[in-house]
Amino acid sequence: MTSYHLHLVSDATGETISSVTRACLVQFSGIEPVEHVWSLVRTRSQMDRVIAGIQKYPGPVLFTLVNEDLRTKLVEETRELGIPTIPVLDGVIHALAAYFGLPISGKPGLQHVMDTEYFERIEAMNYTLSHDDGQSTAQLKDADVILVGVSRTSKTPTCIYLANRGIKAANIPYVPGIPLPQDLFRIDGPLVIGLTKEPQSLVQVRRQRLNMLDEHAGHTDYVDPEKVRDEVQEARRLFARKGWPSIDVTRRSIEETAATIMTYYSRHRAQEAG
């Protein structure tokens, strides 16, 4: 592994630039980035400290700065050092400004203002945590999305990811021999999605889980390949019978599963508004 210093400079919290940078870095193998995160950089004295850090540990600079004075200072001084600077959001912002025909405000940190969207995310998170693993089914009608899935299909982390996007998500486990709550079948507003996994992969994940918990007795059906295969088939038949879209999460990350769910949800909302 070859180490490289990487400087991430932002006039806000730095979350955006960190996310973009990590999404790009996964495309390169054999490197070990050493990230220097410089957040809330809004004065010349703060920028002086950033430049001093870049001089000490030279490496590419990615930045999200809207203040022209600070941008100019950073670009000019790093140019003298022979270090490239990359304005991460410039292309997107200027393209949108041209399309909307509107000026750019130039105010840092606007995406983190405590607006209605922020409080919607908090409300969604509270709802999701209160309706995890089949809890409080009487309030399922208030959900945006309900995930029904066999054990170990990442229902809870997927719901939490969705809640961070402002989507109120509940989840209900599908367990052979145990009826799903009747409240699930009395609602028509929320989008219900089924989650499954390839039986072989499911058995492997469940065995790892039991080993972590040091629980072996009384779980033979839980990891029995034939029983698990039947369980997955039953779940898939149920989802098809109810007309619920289903997602096989075997080769999907939580983010990929959530992205697919959000696509389904957008279509669902469009049809309801339709």
Residue 137 among known ligand-binding residues: no
Q: How far is CA 207 from CA 203, 218, 259, in A?
A: 6, 13, 28
CB contact at 8 A, 39 and 10: yes
Residue 155 among known ligand-binding residues: yes
Six-digit token string for 9: 């400079």
Residue 134 among known ligand-binding residues: no
15 CB-near residues (< 8 Å, 6+ apart): none
Residue 149 among known ligand-binding residues: yes
Beta-strand ranges (E) seen in 116-237 are 145-150, 169-174, 191-196
Residue 154 among known ligand-binding residues: yes
For the stretch 174-177, contacts whose Cβ atoms lie closer than 8 Å and that sit 24 or more positions apart, written own/partner, are 174/148, 174/149, 174/150, 174/231, 174/234, 174/235, 174/238, 175/151, 176/221, 176/227, 176/230, 176/231, 176/234
Residue 42 among known ligand-binding residues: no
Number of H helices, E strands in the chain: 10, 8
What residue has token string 């991430």? 8
Six-digit token string for 212: 């972590």
Q: Identify the CA nearest to 9 among candidates 57, 59, 47, 52.
A: 47
CB contact at 8 A, 38 and 64: no
Residue 151 among known ligand-binding residues: yes
Known binding residues for ADP are: 149-156
Known binding residues are: 149-156
